[in-house]
């Protein structure tokens, strides 16, 4: 029997055919006018997605490389940072900062919980000597989204820089960098950008750039000033991932054709359909404020959450994601990000019903998740 695989992880996400095809073209040299034209086209399109007039730098790395670049380009040894830690990737901000000798203070909450802007304001009032606040737009380990606009209103009135991990959120949730006043915004290719993993993006506000010019933390490959100087020569500082950048150009054409408002609306519909489906099965959501990127679902009592994810993958070829340490097995994550359509959601829910049934969880109406999701998909069909 032919078993077609379906990718519904929070990343990597499915890649459109025209983007895949762009990666198969013969290589060109990166120090040529042909590549410079592609590179600058991509840079301009990234400004559109970031909603900024500032330069957006493309790094050959995963999103974690952009996280490290954000830290080493704006801080000095011994500086103080306030990290909003609500999951695996908030925790990663803390780990990167501590690696470089930054004094870290955390607002730490249980996974899936909200962090109100008022709590950030209280912490800044109590510790006004912090140089930067590190946050996430969408915490990929839980699917929870955070009030970046509210955070930015607080930091804008100070010299404190707001650094935002938009790796999974940008392109699927609102985050207009300039309008909201985000100082450093990062993202990655393998999420809403519908491109294979391997590229990361970073932009600095004028306020942040002043810190870039004076920062004394060690850096070489992730030196923003080297990236800046190279970009103004219409190239990259180091050997770029030529094929990935060609693929990104095709993906950005699709994104601009749909428009940011349309992309966000599409992702919202996919998220609402997914959540309606899993709740129709009597399952509980993990996140207090779930976003458009993924849906984290608590594993039913008595079931093995690790086995659930593996069974969906091995038997039904539907690839979702499990919970990460230290919560492995407690919940699972269904991605609805990037090149995902309504029928992908229906497929995922069908596989989930079949998996739950095989594991002995039958306290739901067969097909109930599909009916609930279909109603939302049909309502949003254009």
Judgement on whether residues 74 and 222 belong to the same structural domain of the protein: yes
Least Cα distance to 318 among 305, 330, 334, 329 occurs for 334
Residue 5 inside a domain? The answer is no
Judgement on whether residues 111 and 195 belong to the same structural domain of the protein: yes
Q: Which residues contact 314 (CB under 8 A, 6 or more apart)?
A: none
Question: Which of 240, 258, 276 is the endpoint of a domain?
Answer: 258
Radius of gyration of the chain measured on its C-alpha atoms: 21
User: How many CA within 13 A on the CB side of residue 105?
Assistant: 16
Residue 321 inside a domain? The answer is yes
Residue 346 inside a domain? The answer is yes
Confidence (pLDDT) at 380: 83
Q: Residue 268 CB: number of other CB atoms within 10 A?
A: 17
* pLDDT(382) > 60: no
What are the strands, taking DSSP E only, across the chain?
Answer: 6-7, 56-60, 80-85, 103-108, 132-136, 138-139, 144-145, 161-165, 184-188, 199-204, 294-298, 318-319, 321-322, 331-335
CA distance from start to end of the chain: 34
Judgement on whether residues 375 and 252 belong to the same structural domain of the protein: no
Judgement on whether residues 173 and 72 belong to the same structural domain of the protein: yes
Confidence (pLDDT) at 2: 86
Confidence (pLDDT) at 283: 97
Confidence (pLDDT) at 381: 76
CATH number, position 175: 3.40.640.10
* pLDDT(67) > 70: yes
Question: Which of 242, 258, 274 is the endpoint of a domain?
Answer: 258
Judgement on whether residues 269 and 143 belong to the same structural domain of the protein: no
- Whether the link from the prior residue into 15 is cis, omega within 30° of 0, is no
Judgement on whether residues 146 and 55 belong to the same structural domain of the protein: yes
Count of domains for the chain: 2
Q: How far apart, in whole angstroms, are the C-alpha atoms of residue 219 and residue 103?
A: 18
Mean pLDDT of 170-192: 98
**Percentage of the chain with pLDDT > 70?**
100
Judgement on whether residues 60 and 25 belong to the same structural domain of the protein: yes
Residue 248 inside a domain? The answer is yes
Judgement on whether residues 222 and 367 belong to the same structural domain of the protein: no
- Residue 136: give the domain boundaries: 17-258
Residue that has been written with the tokens 């006004």 in this structure: 128
Confidence (pLDDT) at 63: 97
pLDDT tens-digit map of 112-139: 999 999 999 999 999 999 999 999 999 9
What is the reported pTM? 0.96
Residue 204 inside a domain? The answer is yes
Mean pLDDT of 299-303: 95
Which residues pair with residue 56 across a beta bridge? 203
Confidence (pLDDT) at 3: 86
Q: Which residues contact 321 (CB under 8 A, 6 or more apart)?
A: 9, 10, 294, 309, 332, 333, 334, 335
Judgement on whether residues 316 and 361 belong to the same structural domain of the protein: yes
Mean pLDDT of 151-170: 97
Judgement on whether residues 126 and 220 belong to the same structural domain of the protein: yes
- Whole-number mean pLDDT of the chain? 97
In 113-147, which residue ranges form alpha helices assigned H by DSSP? Answer: 117-126
pLDDT tens-digit map of 202-247: 999 999 999 999 999 999 999 999 999 999 999 999 999 999 999 9
Judgement on whether residues 219 and 331 belong to the same structural domain of the protein: no
Judgement on whether residues 235 and 306 belong to the same structural domain of the protein: no
Mean pLDDT of 328-357: 97
CATH number, position 300: 3.90.1150.10
């Amino acid at each position: 029997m032919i078993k077609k695989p379906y990718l519904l992880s929070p990343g990597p996400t499915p890649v459109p055919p025209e983007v895949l095809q762009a990666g198969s073209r013969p290589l060109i040299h990166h120090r040529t006018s042909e590549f410079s034209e592609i590179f600058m086209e991509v840079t301009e399109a990234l400004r559109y997605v970031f909603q900024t007039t500032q330069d957006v730098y493309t790094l050959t790395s995963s999103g974690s490389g952009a996280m490290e670049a954000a830290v080493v380009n704006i801080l000095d040894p011994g500086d103080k940072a306030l990290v909003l830690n609500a999951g695996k990737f908030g925790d990663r901000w803390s780990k990167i900062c501590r690696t470089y000798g930054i004094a870290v203070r955390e607002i730490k909450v249980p996974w899936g919980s909200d962090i109100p802007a008022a709590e950030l304001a209280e912490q800044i009032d109590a510790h006004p000597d912090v140089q930067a606040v590190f946050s996430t737009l969408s915490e990929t380990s839980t699917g929870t989204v955070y009030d970046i606009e509210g955070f930015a209103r607080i930091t804008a009135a100070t010299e404190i820089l707001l650094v935002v991990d938009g790796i999974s959120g940008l392109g699927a949730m609102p985050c207009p960098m300039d309008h909201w006043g985000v100082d450093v915004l990062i993202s990655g290719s393998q999420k809403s950008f519908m491109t294979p993993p391997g590229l990361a993006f970073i932009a600095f506000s004028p306020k942040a750039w002043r810190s870039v010019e004076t920062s004394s933390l060690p850096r070489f490959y992730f030196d923003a000033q080297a990236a800046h100087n190279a970009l103004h020569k219409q190239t990259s500082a180091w050997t770029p991932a030529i094929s990935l950048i060609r693929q990104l150009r095709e993906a950005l054409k699709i994104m601009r054709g749909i428009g940011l408002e349309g992309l966000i609306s599409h992702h919202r519909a996919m998220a609402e359909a997914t959540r309606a489906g899993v709740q129709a099965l009597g399952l509980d959501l993990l996140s207090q404020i779930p976003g458009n990127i993924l849906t984290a679902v608590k594993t039913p009592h008595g079931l093995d959450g690790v086995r659930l994810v593996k069974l969906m993958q091995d038997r039904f070829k539907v690839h979702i994601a499990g919970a990460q340490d230290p919560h492995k097995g407690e919940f699972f994550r269904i991605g609805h990000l990037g090149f995902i359509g309504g029928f992908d959601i229906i497929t995922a829910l069908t596989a989930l019903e079949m998996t739950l049934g095989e594991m002995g969880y039958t306290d739901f109406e067969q097909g109930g998740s599909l009916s609930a999701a279909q109603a939302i998909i049909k309502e949003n069909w254009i």
